[in-house]
Amino acid sequence: MKRNLPFIIVAAVALVTLASGAMLYRVKRMQLPVVSDSKLPSGTGAESMHIRGNPDAPVTLEEFGDFQCPPCGQFASFGEQLLKEYDSRLRIVFRNFPLSAHEHAREAALAAEAAGLQGHFWEMHDTLYREQASWSKAPNARELFESYAGTIGVNVDQFKKDIDGEKVKQRVESDHALGDSLGIKLTPTIFINNHPVDPKDKNPEGVRAAINAALSGKSQT
Amino acid sequence: MTVARFRTVLLTLAAIVSLAGLADATYLTVQALTGETVSCGGSPDCFRVLGSSYAKVGRVPLALLGAVAYFSVFTFATFAAFGYARARTLLIPTIGAMFLITLWLLYLQAFVLHAYCRYCLFSAAITFLLAGLVIAIPSPDAK
């Protein structure tokens, strides 16, 4: 018996490790956002949506993003590439989902919305992601946001008023509430034609495959 | 306590300690496989480390290789504790390689990524502890 004991111990540990890993994997997969038809994101709050690309495109890529989140920054530049690739067949919708773990994320979302009131949402969106490394660690990010507003052609005095205004706050909060209702915990969370993209497929190949599937689904109907 | 007994106690301890590393690496492997490491929502510093290009070897998450390494240490330490001399000779180079890789990963966190992930630091502490234990194990010639 003693001769076999190390084999039994090692086999038991291997089994326990594999079983607990598989269980953890299942639990984490069950935490993915599940979208019911009544909560389809791109159909909600259409008047406040920020759309890039052809507004009537057959495929909508909707992102819940946080301006201080590095993967969201990486995804933003990939999004521009996708728009060039798919041209009029794709539109991108951005929703604010600032995470509380990120010190300046909420203020950045407010800045983007304040610029949006003057028709410069996407310029601010791009600038915030491009300059993410600078303002993320700045003690007073607000000053940097104001300087970005000046460089993208926003009226800075109006921007300063708007960033503290109720309208901008409501837009950020309503996006966040929508994300919460969908069970979103991570950013970026991506939906393609209202179907969530699996986090493990949040890579160029996975997203392209999801868009192509949505396009072929549209062409069949 | 005899030298043989002391050796068995240290090898048993190494096996137990490696289980903590195995649990940590298994957790990180699951995170990598579910895509959580390419998202924000947990620790921002952990993303910078686990979402970086250094966290993968080709398409394989580094955490998975870590889990295999800790499991190997557990296996070798267990067999060595039961008197298998060959297992002890495999244990030392395995922990030596893990120690060197850990130093490299700590360097990356400190000087390249400028971010520390607590799970990676825990793994580094486990590897250092294993290295200390393996150094303290008396050689088979010691009486």
CATH number of the domain where residue A95 is located = 3.40.30.10
Instruction: State whether A148 and A195 are in the same domain.
Output: yes
Instruction: State whether A211 and A102 are in the same domain.
Output: yes
The verdict on A12 touching B (C-beta cutoff 8 Å) is no
The verdict on A70 touching B (C-beta cutoff 8 Å) is yes
Instruction: State whether A81 and A26 are in the same domain.
Output: no
Instruction: State whether A71 and A91 are in the same domain.
Output: yes
The verdict on A24 touching B (C-beta cutoff 8 Å) is yes
> How near does any CA of chain B get to the CA of A187, in Å?
5
Distance CA B81, CA A123 (A): 64
pLDDT in tens, B62-114: 999 999 999 999 999 999 999 898 999 999 999 999 999 999 999 999 999 88
Q: What is the DSSP letter of A1?
A: -
Chain A residues whose beta carbon lies within 8 Å of the beta carbon of residue B33: 25, 200
The verdict on B22 touching A (C-beta cutoff 8 Å) is yes
A16 belongs to a structural domain: yes
Question: The whole model's pTM is what?
Answer: 0.72
| Assigned CATH topology for domain B3-136 | de novo design (two linked rop proteins) (1.20.1440)
CA A86 to chain centre: 20
Range name among A103-112, A179-188, B44-53 with the lowest pLDDT average: B44-53
Instruction: State whether A155 and A198 are in the same domain.
Output: yes
Residue A68, CA distances (Å) to A3, A73, B49, B58, B120 in order: 57, 8, 16, 28, 23
Instruction: State whether A187 and A155 are in the same domain.
Output: yes
Which of B11, B18, B22, B30 is best to mutate for the A interface (most A CBs within 10 A)? B30
Say if the Cβ atoms of B34 and A199 lie within 8 Å: yes
The verdict on A201 touching B (C-beta cutoff 8 Å) is yes
A35 belongs to a structural domain: no
Quote the ipTM score: 0.87
A109 belongs to a structural domain: yes
pLDDT in tens, A57-66: 999 999 999 9
Instruction: State whether A174 and A69 are in the same domain.
Output: yes
Instruction: State whether A21 and A45 are in the same domain.
Output: no
pLDDT at B2: 86
Angle value at C-alpha B125, between B62 and B23, nearest 5 degrees:
55
Distance CA A19, CA B119 (A): 21
Number of domains forming the structure of chain A: 2
The verdict on B71 touching A (C-beta cutoff 8 Å) is yes
Instruction: State whether A179 and A152 are in the same domain.
Output: yes
Full domain range(s) for residue A6? 1-30
> How near does any CA of chain A get to the CA of B33, in Å?
7
Which residues, including other chains, have CB under 8 Å from residue B42's CB and lie 6 or more apart?
A: A101, B36
Instruction: State whether A12 and A100 are in the same domain.
Output: no
What are the domain boundaries of chain B? 3-136
Nearest by CB to B26, from A5, A20, A28: name it. A20
